[in-house]
Amino acid sequence: MALRPMPTEAFETRFAALLQQHRERLLGFLRRLCGVEADAEDVLQETLAKVWRLRASFDPYGNAEGWLLQAAFRTFCDHRARRRRAVPGSVTGSATEPDALPAPSAPCPVELRDEVVRTLAALPSIERELLLGFHRDGLSLRELAERHALPVNTVKSHLHRARQRLAAGPEER
Amino acid sequence: MNRSEFEVRLHVCLDARRDPFDDAELVAWLDAHPEELEAVARLWAAVGVLRHDAPVTRAGARSLLSVEASAVRVRGTANRRWPLLVLCAGLAGVAAALVLATLWPAHAATPSVAPPAAGRILSAVVEPITPTLGLAPQVRATEVLVARPDVRVEVFTQWSVR
């Protein structure tokens, strides 16, 4: 395997500019994953430090955005694992508990909330009601099925479609 | 695992109220497909927003999201009521202006060609303002206090119609 040459000063300048260029997008991505601004900032700093150390392995002709998102995602996973080791049960609970999914520990950013509200507004009413019933009100699939007189599998299908729309975001439809 | 298998697994995870980032296969697939990361992050954040909204709702208060969701439900009705509300507000404004004009003692004695005096209401205008998120129409009534070629002074009152 051929050794990569040490990064030159010009390369480092370009690489630093690249990080600066993608910083906001990475922060937005991490805000969504972490749910807490302070955690997102921490993970971002850790990500930037990590990719700087790995700058020699960066392919300037490759997909820089994907590479950086991947690095941020890996750092996020490491961050979660470390936190879980520090405080067992702090990141997630057991699947049998009704609230196994972790709730954000601080209010979410207003922009994020607005984005969700806009997406909800564009959903068909049945998908919106099922989504709110399941994720906000904590109703079970069976309870939702009874409430809306639908088979459980139909409730699941509606929920899946609604989540796909949430994943796509309000602007992409 | 292909993309559709990934999606099925992700939704099964969320249906079971499990954390998808605890599933090693989902994490490995995402790691290999960074182009999907932002969509999954967006979904994860939205689920977090909905869940964060839950305690307020359970406590009996109307949360922001529930207000907005019900606003979404009645948006069609609100849109149909909008012209009626504007008409009512406009009529109320005109009626108020007429009453003020009738009760104003100096009104009859003032020649119509005389320049307006300061403090006198010359006109009242009700104008609709596009509501934010369709939650509540807002109305602004403007009173012109002075209207001269060189000076124009107005005051306005703004309120929401619920």
For residue B113, give how far its alpha carbon lies from the nearest alpha carbon of chain A (Å).
Answer: 54
Reported as a single tens digit per residue, the pLDDT across B39-67 is 999 899 888 888 876 544 444 444 545 54
- One domain for residues A128 and A69: no
The verdict on A116 and A155 lying in the same domain is yes
> C-alpha distances in angstroms, A37 versus A28, A45, A65, A173, B55?
10, 12, 21, 28, 21
Q: Domain range spanning residue A53?
A: 9-84
- The fraction of chain A above a pLDDT of 90, given in percent, is 35
Query: Are residues A118 and A162 located together in one domain of the fold?
Result: yes
The residues pairing with B140 across neighbouring beta strands, listed in sequence order, are: B127, B158
Q: Is A130 found in the same domain as A74?
A: no
Place of tokens 């009512």: B88
Number of CB pairs < 8 Å for A and B?
141
Of A32, A66, A159, which has the smallest distance from its Cβ to B15's Cβ?
A: A159
- pTM comes to 0.61
**Where is average pLDDT lowest: A70-79, A137-146, B29-38, B73-82?**
B73-82
Domain presence at residue A92: no
In chain A, positions 135-154, which contact chain B (CB-CB < 8 Å)? 135-138, 141
- Type of residue found at A171: E
For A116, nearest residue in chain B (alpha carbons): B46
What is residue A71's predicted lDDT score, i.e. its pLDDT?
94
